[in-house]
Structures are given as structure tokens and as C-alpha cells.
Amino acid sequence: MEFGLKGRKVAILATDGVEQVELIEPRKALEAAGAITHVIAPKQGAIQGMNHDEKGEEIPVDRVLTSVRASDYDALLLPGGVANPDTLRTETAAVQFVREFMLAEKPVAAICHGPWLLVEAQAVSGRTLTSWPSLKTDIRNAGGQWVDLPVSVDEKLITSRKPADIPAFNAAIVKEFGNRLDDARVDETSEQSFPASDPPPGPSAIGGEGAARTP
């Protein structure tokens, strides 16, 4: 049985205006650990990467958002850049995609302005996370606890503040994604070996409900 990230699929949700380094460097780290990554965007072709205020590379899109589901992937990465998450949080399909990962309790990582999507998905209440400092009030107003740390790990949610934190962020996502997915594998194996006589049903529909942690 393979453990860690080998062969596991990670969705990277982004659009034009993504901070290039916050997509490319974590992607390299995940792929080096054996993960399969797909850049998912609302449109086909490529998205425009940014180096702060300057245009960077055009990043090829692997999958169009409307053609995928959260159930196709094991984990989610949300890079930042101001325009990228600000645009995505107005896209119903993007917000729903994030919400489904959170409701399914799959590992999710977000850096810089990426947590804006978590706020829009109603997924920060009762959670501790970090971000670019300008999101602090948004996160607190949504019921989250904001911390000023290079990396915050709250169960399966990993967040980071800015490009300078990427080395720590990469180490955390490789470790935590691998550990959380290993735990899920063990749970699946146990359920297959010792099935419950009447397992509890999962949510039949996501609808517009949030993914906040309940007390």
C-alpha cells in the first residue's frame, strides 16, 4: 500500500491575476512528493500569472472548473494574488467547489489572499487561520480566529501569509496533506475490513450551506 502523496490528486484553483510564485512553487513541492496536480480555472487555455504588480508567465489550464468535481480530488490548493481570489469569489461554481472540499473534510491549503474564497464559502467560522494581513477583518467578521504566523495548521486546513512564507508553507502542505490522506486511507481500509452494520449517511446535498466548524 502506497502512503504519502504518491498518486494523490491535488486541485489548484486559480484564474487570471494569480500570484505566480504562490502557484508554481507549492505545485513543484507537491509534485516532487508524488502528487498529481491540475490547475483548474473557469476558462480554457491559460491564466495570467503575476509577479506582484507585473505580468508574469501564462500558466496552462489543465481542467475547466465546470468539468470537475471536488470528489475527483484528494486535496485543494488556493494560491493568492489580489485579483485571482477576488474574481473567483464572485464565481458561484468556484465557491461551491471550495465549499465541497471543506464539507468533505479534505485537506485544503490557502496562501496570501487565497483565504478570501474560504470566507466566501462560509468555511472559516470556528477555525484558526492566517492570510495576507488585509484579510484579517474579513476573517474575524466571518467567525474565524486570525493569527500572524508564517503557517497555521488547523486540522486539515493549512494557511500562510505571503510569498516569503512559501518554504514553510510548502513543507507544511507536503507533510499535512500526506498525513491527512494517510489517515483517510486507514479509515477507508478499516471500513472495508469491518463495515458498520448501519453507517451514518453523508450529506445528501451541499446547497448553499456553509462549511464552518460547528461547536
Which amino acids are annotated catalytic? 112-113
d(CA 83, CA 74): 26
Q: Which of these, 7, 67, 1, lies nearest to 37 by C-alpha position?
A: 7
CA dihedral angle for residue 199, residue 204, residue 207, residue 211, rounded to 10 degrees: 10
**How long, in residues, is the chain?**
215
Q: Is the distance from CB of 189 to CB of 165 less than 8 angstroms?
A: no
Cell of residue 108, nine digits: 485544503
Terminal CA-CA length for the chain: 36
d(CA 53, CA 81): 9
